[in-house]
Structure 1
Amino acid sequence: MQGPQHHTLSYIEFGVTDLAATRAFYESAFGWSFNDYGPAYSGIRTPDGAGEIGGLNPGAPPSNDGPLVLLFSDDLEATVEAVKTAGGTIVSGPYEFPGGRRFEFTDPSGNRLGVFAAA
């Protein structure tokens, strides 16, 4: 089984208030690419472009009360800077945890996610 890949996650759907701004954020911060389904949905492509691992749904309300989705990073400090540059807000960390370091951020629609790196 393959281990975590840099800036990837399993399929998850984000409710968004602004599809274009939220998509631009993830493109800039993590280099994600999307399949567009008109103004109602953008699917997050897998790193190889062969499938999808998630989506942005402007028809669902964003929430920071849901599960904390974690992305993996090969370079946590560079990812912190990418999130800030793309317009995200760091809300916690970076901090140490057993096995590595992580931080948490919110995207332009208010979704809260975390990013971790191995020790």
Structure 2
Amino acid sequence: MKQHGRLNYVEYPAYDLEATKTFFHAVFDWKFTDFGIDYCSFTSEEINGGFYRSKLTSTQAAGGALLIFYSEDLEKSLAKIENNGAQINKPIFSFPGGRRFHFIEPSGNEFAVWTDK
């Protein structure tokens, strides 16, 4: 939903658009629309965005924004993410208010998943 002053869209680089689309559809049920061979948009219940073909990657260590998914069952989410081709780069750890882990999706971008359970 478009609302003034609210985050509305996010874009990420992806050197393997097909692998990235396959991963996010399988794990988070994102829907994709291709706009030529070098760009695709995605829709989800939480946020919309796109991936553009690029050899660049977005990681927290390099100063990139970190998008963090919420999970009701962190261990189940970790297994699903690993089973669909992502690399866990920070195993589950505790922090004030919950637990989380970080992963690298097939095109090299870092995301995280957290829970308050």
TM class by smaller structure: 0.7 to 0.9
1:40 — aligned with what?
Answer: 38
Structure 1's unaligned 5+ residue stretches are 1-8
Cα RMSD after superposing both structures: 2.0
- Unmatched runs of 5 consecutive residues or more in structure 2: 1-6
Indicate if the aligned counterparts of 1:41 and 1:58 stay in contact, CA closer than 8 A: yes
Equivalent position amino acid for 2:94 in 1: E
Match of 2:53 among 58, 69, 73: 58
TM-score (norm 1): 0.80
Moved over 6 A (4+): none
What per-residue deviation string (whole Å, max 9, x for no partner) do you get for residues 53-93 of structure 1? 11111147223221222111122111101110110000112
TM-score, structure 2 length as denominator? 0.81
Judging changes above 3 Å, is the alpha-carbon distance between structure 1 residues 59 and 18 closer, same or farther for their aligned structure 2 residues?
Answer: same
Q: Tell me if 1:69 matches 2:67.
A: yes
% identical aligned pairs? 35
Shift in Å at residue 46 of structure 1? 2.7
Kept in 2: contact 1:29–1:85 (CA 8 A): no
